[in-house]
Amino acid sequence: MVKTRIIPLQPALVLENGQKSIVVTDLHIGFEASMISNNINVQPSDMIQEIHSSLHQLIESEKPDNLIILGDIKSSVSSISKIEWQTLPLFFEIGKKINTIVIPGNHDGNLASIIPNYVTMTGPSGLIIDDTLLTHGHVLPSENFSDITRIVMGHLHPVYLQEGSVLDGQRLWISIIAEKKDIFPSSKGSLEIIIVPSFNRYFYATYKKRNKKSISPILQRIRNLHSAKIVTLDGSIIGDESILREII
């Protein structure tokens, strides 16, 4: 059984099952084009350097065997933008320092054309480690995965949105306990779903859309919700299943 642990103050999850993996998601490299178009002066290479620095700090402190990225590495959906052609090779240099596994998301179209051979890319259905499915969250898991007891996903980049609140704009962790049969009809018991916040701390600043949220077919299938826990990066529990729909 895989043990999971949130790294305090970081949008990163540790998985341990003999090996140790750090899991992050939703980097959205290339989103800087939106900032530039809004007259925000940023250098894409500086953004990559900041991501690298954050990841290196995590790697130094946790000493993991693997870095697993749950998709949406890039920002454009089906193509690769000019900024992404320039910056993605710089980002993937991380794969020379640690075994890096990429699970493609809905924004990662054509990513295979630029990913280096020292980085592993799975199919969009995800990766199973013991009892845990790691996936981006934009596709339903196959019934063949019904032996799992946990899903770790991204895609939704949960953020607390409440104007005037000191928490407005804070990234969130979400843990859900649901009936397994909602996702895998032939199965019984409960299923834990962990939603990992976006690793890109600037993403909210340019995508502050209070009425438009990402949709996951996994969560759409849930009809029997047992409980939910909503937690800020600093570990504060700010809500349960009663406010879940407001968040995602």
Domain boundaries, the chain: 3-247
Tens of pLDDT, residues 95-108 = 999 999 999 999 99
Average pLDDT score over residue span 225-247? 94
CB 18, CB 25: distance < 8 Å: no
Assess whether pLDDT exceeds 60 at residue 206: no
Residue 29 CB coordination number (10 Å): 24
The more confident residue out of 1 and 236 is 236
Average pLDDT score over residue span 47-68? 95
Backbone angles phi, psi at 20, to 5 degrees: -115, 130
Residue 30 is classified by DSSP as: T
Average pLDDT score over residue span 100-118? 95
Residue 235 is classified by DSSP as: S
Tens of pLDDT, residues 141-193 = 999 999 999 999 999 999 988 888 888 889 999 999 999 999 999 999 999 99
Give the contacts of 206 (CB within 8 A, at least 6 positions apart). Answer: 31, 34, 35, 38, 40
Q: Give the pLDDT of residue 66.
A: 98
What tokens were used for 124? 């969009």
Q: Give the pLDDT of residue 158.
A: 93
Residue 142 is classified by DSSP as: P
Distance CA(136)–CA(126), nearest Å, equals: 7
For residue 91, give the 3-state DSSP assignment.
helix
Q: Give the pLDDT of residue 33.
A: 54
Q: Does domain 3-247 have CATH number 1.20.140?
A: no
Average pLDDT score over residue span 30-52? 69
> What integer best gives the mean pLDDT of the chain?
90
Residue appearing with tokens 């305090």: 8
| One-letter identity of residue 215 | I
Short-list 159, 129, 127, CA closest to 141: 127
Assess whether pLDDT exceeds 50 at residue 211: no
Distance CA(85)–CA(78), nearest Å, equals: 13
Q: Give the pLDDT of residue 210.
A: 47
CB 159, CB 200: distance < 8 Å: no
pLDDT > 90: percent of the chain: 73
